[in-house]
Structure 1
Amino acid sequence: MGRKHHVVLGLWDMQTVIQFSLFIFLLGGLTLIIYTNSNQGLKTSKFEAALMSSSNTTTTKRNAQVFDHEKSLKVTQLSFTNGCDLFSGRWVHDNKSHYPLYKEHECPYIEGTFACQTYGRNESKYQQWRWQPYSCDFPKFDGKAIVEKLKGKRILFVGDSLNRNQWNSMICMLQPSIPGVKKAGGDLNLYTFKAMDYNISVDFYWAPMLVESNGDSSTNHRVGDRVVKIKAIEKHARHWADADILVFNSYHWWKLPVVKLLRNVGSLLDDPNNEYDEVDSLLAYEMSLKTWSKWALTHIDTSKTKLFFMGATATHSRAKGWKGKNHANCYRETEPVTNVTFRESKTNRQMQSILDSSLSKLKAAGVNVQYMNITKLTEYRKDAHTTIYKKIWHPLTEVENKNPQRSSDCSHWCLPGVPDTWNEILLAYILGR
């Protein structure tokens, strides 16, 4: 009897052990789920707290910030394996290699806004400069190899006309290497170039302030006051979600003393009866980046989508800055600035610092956005703007006709030209080369 009792007791212990183990397994799984969800919430709350702390910075403190172009942006700037900084270098005249990367007249997609030779520029030295990083070389542009690697991908540029300038450059760089059917077209804010046989899309979406604004019409945005819905971005962002590579910019449209923020989010931007708050433009810029960052945090899977943010590009509206004539600008300039310590005075370093801070906080929250620090390389290129050599969309005044310098565009860039270099560097990052 004792043995029989012993056997029954052993079977009972074995069942208990199995049941207890199953209980522990289920309890552990439940604990893991709870921890994961709470950790995700903690991640979001930490990110929002960090953004809130930056939003509370006073204008006085912000004006006291000093932006060091050479030392800042180290958090978000990717280093290649050999430690090369592609954004630090000099321009070298090179008319014996592969520059320009394409011929203006051979790109059927080039826009009149950037077609300087077509509209009267009779010298082309601006096309023959190569950007040379100090400590390395980036890969020579190979259109065929790049096109093969971009099969099935959608590249989307989002921002203002400088990003459109870059988008147009990318199309002209890639299209000679793409066989088969190619189509280009636009619909409202979205413009697209499609390589049908390769399933490659190179698109541009017009959103100059990223959030909704009264400048959201790509063809009719010349207004006196800049009005924005500072927390509204989904109207634009729904067009971005399926992109494999997103390239943002937003800078020039914020260079105003104040920006008007709509009090009622549901109001129409063009309603004359709207109520606004006038906000310092630096604070408004910071707030818009907060809205954009929250969208990126909740909508972007960085294992599938690569994110880039283009730095500010220089304007050259004051020749005095490079010791030129008083009251002159980029008009008829044919050589880059050779002084390596030159800084364009109109480039807003405080805005760049705000962007750097926003991208650093976003990275800390788990979304890495590669900052493309092209400011310095554009500051040297006073010779490469479209000036008067472009399609004129609005009739010039009598004064402008008599003095072409007054109507010179010292913001946008001739193609081929400087934006091709931005894209060479961008492609090096995209392809991990």
Structure 2
Amino acid sequence: MKSPSSSPSSSSSLPRKRRLPHFVFTVLAFVLLASMIYGHDFVSLSRKTHQNPILDELGTRSKAEEPPPKSPEIPFAVGKALGECEYFKGRWVKDESTRPLYRESECPYIQPQLTCRAHGRPDSDYQSWRWQPDSCSLPSFNATMMLESLRGKRMMFVGDSLNRGMYNSLICLLHSNIPEHAKSMETHGSLTVFSIKEYNASMEFYWAPFLLESNADNAAVHRISDRIVRKGSINKHGKHWRGADIVVFNTYLWWMTGFKMKILESGSFEDENKRIREMETEDAYRMAMKSIVKWVKKNMDPSMTRVFFTTMSPTHYKSEDWGGGRGQNCYNQTTPIQDQAHWPSDCSKSVMRVIGEVLGRRKDFPITVLNITQLSGYRKDAHTSTYKKQWSPLTKEQLANPVSYADCIHWCLPGLQDTWNELLFAKLFYP
């Protein structure tokens, strides 16, 4: 048997010369003639095919150097914040030339629990403070721009009475730009609707202090000390939020019972045999935040909808927090706290961390956090205090000691919550 090396195909002899077919010579001759006649065009074609680095620097970029695709546009955004502006870090400055943004007496939509001047507050300086971020200025609130953006849309505030105050504030900021015949307000149970007929729009408030279902869901009768929240129950309320184009959530104060939070796992709130589990406040709050995120992802479109979450609204019941006398609170306070390092003692930093962990930097559905906690913590002067409609007659003992019944939770309008809406305006249009 012959070895493979001895086969003819592997012979070491010189290869035979093969004669090229006649048509190949014809083609080569044609190409040579064309290059002589159209040489310039061949050079141009070569330059287009093999990019010159100098041309790339002048703006003719190769495919590999094309910029990455643009990120999806943010709904309602018209521009970006200048530089690295941190809207929530700054100070309060007195500004009587631009404050207040409206008059209490000219806005009929403020709840009587927030009309401080009408209920005898003697000073008005609390209306004259403007929030000034350290690194920039807030965009000026533009009512016309806001109304045009709401044309044909629904905007909804969901949460507790503090969110309702923010809702009332925004209506006051807008209502003078709406003809009298083209606006109305109606309340049906947990839902209040401010209709803007000329714009085919609505601004709504939905009472849900825990966001999840709870035994405090009655919008009128909800003063319950033994608070219970049903686990995984967001859909009871959530069905009323579907279809909204802008949603502003808040929840915090109702969770702060001073005890572990009671979670209903089975049965009804009225059922004697209901199954209840107690959870640390931080864990229960995290459960609610995760429920909100899950609901938003399932029911809202990030290309069409904007979702906001307002952080903790501080109270001012302990004057020792700002160097005041023992046993005093927000009563008779008329100036803000000037110490920029001040943090309100009643605002849990662990809960603040939960908000950051669950809502911060989400890419699947971004939820914009309005961090109003510290800037509001400076405003010990801005609460309704004793200047509000009282839920029940005051006793002689209370009247003799106003500190005992001062409301250091809610805020006078106009006032601090107008700034919350300026921040909302800034993050909505200039994220």
Give secondary structure in 2 for the equivalent of 1:313.
Answer: coil
Write the distance in 2 (CA, Å) between the matches of 1:301 and 1:237: 15
Write the distance in 2 (CA, Å) between the matches of 1:224 and 1:105: 35
Aligned to 2:15: none
Question: Is residue 193–residue 201 contact of structure 1 (8 Å, CA) maintained in 2?
Answer: yes
Letter in structure 2 aligned against 1:416: P
Question: Is residue 80–residue 430 contact of structure 2 (8 Å, CA) maintained in 1?
Answer: no
Question: Is residue 79–residue 85 contact of structure 1 (8 Å, CA) maintained in 2?
Answer: no
Which has the higher mean CA deviation after the structures are superposed, 140-149 or 191-200?
Answer: 140-149
Deviations 1:116-135 (A, max 9, x none): 01111011000000000111
1:243 aligns with 2:244: yes
Write the distance in 1 (CA, Å) between the matches of 2:272 and 2:403: 36
Aligned to 2:328: 328
Task: Give 1:335 deviation, angstroms.
Answer: 0.4
Distance 1:341 1:218, change over 3 A: same
Distance 1:302 1:322, change over 3 A: same
User: Which is higher, the Rg of structure 1 or of structure 2?
Assistant: 2
Task: Give 1:385 deviation, angstroms.
Answer: 0.2
Write the distance in 2 (CA, Å) between the matches of 1:306 and 1:159: 17
Deviations 1:327-376 (A, max 9, x none): 10000000001112111111111101011111137x14x01000111111
Give secondary structure in 1 for the equivalent of 2:110.
Answer: coil
Task: Give 1:295 deviation, angstroms.
Answer: 1.0
Task: Give 1:395 deviation, angstroms.
Answer: 2.7
Aligned to 1:391: 389
Unaligned regions of 5+ residues in structure 1, if any? 1-77
Question: Is residue 115–residue 413 contact of structure 2 (8 Å, CA) maintained in 1?
Answer: yes
Aligned to 2:12: none
Question: Is residue 226–residue 259 contact of structure 1 (8 Å, CA) maintained in 2?
Answer: yes
1:155 aligns with 2:137: no
Deviations 1:16-40 (A, max 9, x none): xxxxxxxxxxxxxxxxxxxxxxxxx
Write the distance in 2 (CA, Å) between the matches of 1:228 and 1:120: 38
Pick from 237, 240, 261: which aligns with 1:259? 261
Task: Give 1:313 deviation, angstroms.
Answer: 1.3
Q: Please show how residues 7-406 of structure 1 align to structure 2 within 5 Å.
A: 80-96=81-97, 98-179=98-179, 180-256=181-257, 257-264=259-266, 267-360=267-360, 363-364=362-363, 366-406=364-404
Deviations 1:204-226 (A, max 9, x none): 00011010001111111111211
Give secondary structure in 2 for the equivalent of 1:171.
Answer: helix
Letter in structure 1 aligned against 2:377: E
Write the distance in 1 (CA, Å) between the matches of 2:293 and 2:225: 28
Scaled by the length of structure 2, the TM-score of the pair is 0.79
Count matched residues: 351
Question: Is residue 316–residue 409 contact of structure 2 (8 Å, CA) maintained in 1?
Answer: yes
Question: Is residue 144–residue 178 contact of structure 1 (8 Å, CA) maintained in 2?
Answer: no
Task: Give 1:397 deviation, angstroms.
Answer: 3.7
Scaled by the length of structure 1, the TM-score of the pair is 0.79
Write the distance in 1 (CA, Å) between the matches of 2:350 and 2:189: 33
Letter in structure 2 aligned against 1:240: W
Task: Give 1:139 deviation, angstroms.
Answer: 1.5
Give secondary structure in 1 for the equivalent of 2:108.
Answer: coil
Write the distance in 2 (CA, Å) between the matches of 1:224 and 1:124: 34
Task: Give 1:79 deviation, angstroms.
Answer: 7.6
Aligned to 1:426: 424
Letter in structure 2 aligned against 1:376: Q
Write the distance in 2 (CA, Å) between the matches of 1:276 and 1:395: 36
Letter in structure 1 aligned against 2:145: A
Write the distance in 2 (CA, Å) between the matches of 1:213 and 1:395: 28
Question: Is residue 212–residue 233 contact of structure 1 (8 Å, CA) maintained in 2?
Answer: yes
Task: Give 1:151 deviation, angstroms.
Answer: 1.6
Distance 1:355 1:79, change over 3 A: farther
Deviations 1:387-420 (A, max 9, x none): 1111112233443222111111111100000000
Deviations 1:45-73 (A, max 9, x none): xxxxxxxxxxxxxxxxxxxxxxxxxxxxx
Deviations 1:285-312 (A, max 9, x none): 1112122221112111111110000011
Aligned to 2:37: none
Write the distance in 2 (CA, Å) between the matches of 1:270 and 1:218: 18
Question: Is residue 126–residue 335 contact of structure 2 (8 Å, CA) maintained in 1?
Answer: yes
Write the distance in 2 (CA, Å) between the matches of 1:110 and 1:303: 33
Write the distance in 1 (CA, Å) between the matches of 2:197 and 2:382: 33
